[in-house]
Chains A and B, each alone.
Chain A
Amino acid sequence: MIHKRVLWSSKFILPAIKQAFIKLNPLFLWRNIIMFVVEVGAAATLIIAAMHFFAGIPYNFDLYISIWLWFTVLFANFAESLAEGKGKAQAESLKHGRSDVYAQRVKPDTESEVESVPALMLKKGDIVIITDGMMIPSDGEIIEGVALIDESAITGESAPVVREAGGDKTGVTGGTKVLSGTIKVEIRTNPGETFIDQMIGMIESSKRQKTPNEVALEIFLISSMILFIVVIITLFLFGVYLDFKISTTVLIALLVCLIPTTIGGLLPAIGIAGMDRLLSYNVIALNGRAVEAAGDVNVVLLDKTGTITLGNRLATEFIAAPGITEKELARFAMLSSLADDTPEGRSIVILAKEKLQIHGRDIRSPVGAKFIGFRAETRMSGIDVNEVQIRKGAVDAIENFVKARKIIFPAEVRQAVERVANEGGTPLVVVDQKTVYGVVYLKDVLKEGIRDRLLQLKNIGIISVMITGDNPLTAAAIAAEAGVSDFIAQANPSMKLKRIKKYQQDGYMVAMIGDGTNDVPALAQADVAVAMNAGTQAAREAANMIDLDSTPTKLLDIVEIGKQILITRGALTTFSISNDVAKYFAIIPALFVEKCSMLSVLNVMHLASPFSAIISAVIFNAIIIPLLIPLALRGVQCQQVSVEYLLKRNLLIYGLGGVLLPFIGIKLIDMLVVWLGWGL
Chain B
Amino acid sequence: MLGTWLFQIVTLLFLLTACAFFLGEYMAKVFSGERTFISPILAPVENFLYKLFGIDPNEDMNWKTFAMNVIFFIFVGMIALFFLLRMQDSLPLNLNNFKAIRWDAAINAAISFVTNSDWQPYKSEAVMSYLTRMLGMGLQNFLSAATGMAVAVALINAFVRKNTPGIGNFWVYLTRSIIYVLLPLSIVLSLFLVSQGSIANLNPYVHIKTLEGKEQIIAQGPAAPQIAIKQLGTSGGGFFAANSAHPYENPTPITDYVNILALLLIAAAFPFAFGALIKDRSQGWAIFIAMMLLFIIGLWFVIWSELHGNPLLTKLGIHNGVNMEGKEVRFGPLASAFFANSATATSAGAASSSYDSLMPLTGIVLIFNMAIGEVIFGGVGSGFIGMMFYVMLTMFLIGLMIGRSPEVYGKKLEAYEMIMIVSALFLPCALQLILSAIAVSISAGTSSLGNPTFHGLSEVIYAYASGVGNNGSAFAGLKADTPFYNLTIAFAMLAGYLITIIPALAVAGSITQKNSSPLATRFPTNRPLFILVLVGIIFIIGALTFFPALVLGPVVEHLYILSGKTF
Contacts and interface: CB of A to CB of B under 8 A. Distances in A.
Contact of A588 (B405, B433, B527, B547): B547
B520 A570 contact: no
A650 B402 CA distance: 8
A234 B549 contact: yes
B554 interface: no
Contacts of B517: 298, 507-508
Interface in A621-659: 638, 643-644, 646-648, 650-651, 654-655
B11 interface: no
Interface string B425-449: 0100110011011101100001000
Contacts of A540: none
Interface string B18-58: 00000000000000000000000000000000000000000
A570 B430 contact: no
Q: In the complex, which of the residues A227, A239, A654 has the most CB atoms of chain B within 10 Å of its own CB atom?
A: A227
B454 A296 contact: no
Interface string A235-249: 101111110100000
Given A230-B433, A508-B521, A567-B400, A242 B529 contact: no
A602 interface: yes
Contacts of B556: 596, 598-599
Contact of A598 (B402, B419, B422, B563): B563
A588 B548 contact: yes
A244 B556 CA distance: 13
A662 interface: no
A560 to B, nearest CB: 9
A292 interface: yes
A237 B413 CA distance: 37
B400 A217 contact: yes
Contacts of B555: 599, 602
A212 B548 CA distance: 34
A212 B414 contact: yes
B200 to A, nearest CB: 45
B398 A647 contact: yes
Given A224-B426, A566-B403, A215 B415 contact: yes
A158 interface: no
Nearest to B520: A461
Contacts of B429: 227, 230
A571 B402 CA distance: 9
A567 B440 contact: no
A13 B411 CA distance: 43
A216 interface: yes
A216 B441 contact: no
Interface in B518-567: 518, 520-521, 523-524, 527, 529, 533, 536, 540, 543-545, 547-549, 551-552, 555-556, 559-560, 563
A357 interface: no
A556 to B, nearest CB: 14
Contacts of A564: 403
B467 interface: no
Given A234-B434, A643-B523, A570 B516 contact: no
A230 B559 contact: no
Given A231-B548, A296-B404, A564-B403, A237 B521 contact: no
A237 B437 contact: yes
Q: In the complex, which of the residues A215, A219, A258, A506 has the most CB atoms of chain B within 10 Å of its own CB atom?
A: A219
B326 interface: no
Interface string A151-175: 0000000000000000000000000
A574 interface: yes
Contacts of B434: 230, 234
A271 to B, nearest CB: 13
A588 B546 CA distance: 12
B437 A234 contact: yes
B222 to A, nearest CB: 43
Nearest to A562: B403
B406 A213 contact: yes
Contacts of B393: 220
Contacts of B399: 566, 570
Contacts of A566: 399-400, 403-405
A293 interface: yes
A573 interface: yes
A386 interface: no
Interface size class of B (residues with CB under 8 A): 35 or more
User: Is chain A's binding surface mostly helix, strand, loop or mixed?
Assistant: helix
A601 interface: yes
Contacts of B400: 213, 217, 566-567, 569-571, 573
Given A241-B441, A296-B404, A507-B410, A644 B527 contact: yes
B418 interface: yes
A527 B62 CA distance: 28
Contact of B559 (A574, A581, A598): A598
A503 to B, nearest CB: 9
A569 B397 CA distance: 9
B477 to A, nearest CB: 16
B405 A292 contact: yes
A23 interface: no
User: Is chain B's binding surface mostly helix, strand, loop or mixed?
Assistant: helix
A473 interface: no
Interface in A258-303: 258, 292-293, 295-296, 298
Contacts of B524: 643-644
A227 B415 contact: no
A233 interface: yes
Interface in A553-612: 562-564, 566-567, 569-571, 573-574, 577-578, 580-581, 584, 588, 592, 596, 598-599, 601-602
B551 A227 contact: no
Contacts of B454: 242
B551 A588 contact: yes
B156 to A, nearest CB: 19
A646 B402 contact: yes
Nearest to A566: B403
A110 interface: no
Contacts of B404: 295-296, 563, 566, 643
Contacts of A235: 548-549, 552
A601 B560 CA distance: 12
Given A226-B430, A227-B426, A644-B524, A601 B559 contact: yes
A646 B515 contact: no
B410 A231 contact: no
B563 to A, nearest CB: 6
Contacts of A216: 396, 406, 413-415, 417-418
A451 B8 CA distance: 59
B436 A234 contact: yes
Nearest to B563: A598
B401 interface: yes
Q: In the complex, which of the residues A233, A238, A258, A508 has the most CB atoms of chain B within 10 Å of its own CB atom?
A: A238
B493 interface: no
B204 to A, nearest CB: 46
B478 to A, nearest CB: 14
A231 B405 contact: no
B84 interface: no
A412 B527 CA distance: 57
Contact of A571 (B396, B401, B516): B401
Contacts of B405: 212-213, 292-293, 295-296, 566
Contacts of A588: 547-548, 551
A567 B403 CA distance: 5
26 contacts: A216-B396, A223-B422, A224-B422, A230-B430, A234-B437, A237-B440, A238-B436, A238-B440, A238-B457, A241-B440, A507-B521, A566-B405, A567-B400, A567-B401, A570-B398, A571-B400, A577-B540, A580-B544, A598-B559, A643-B404, A643-B523, A644-B523, A644-B529, A646-B401, A647-B398, A647-B401
Given A213-B406, A227-B429, A563-B404, 7 more contacts: A216-B413, A216-B414, A217-B400, A296-B404, A566-B400, A588-B548, A602-B551
Q: Which 4 A-B pairs have the closest CB atoms?
A: A570-B400, A563-B403, A237-B437, A234-B437
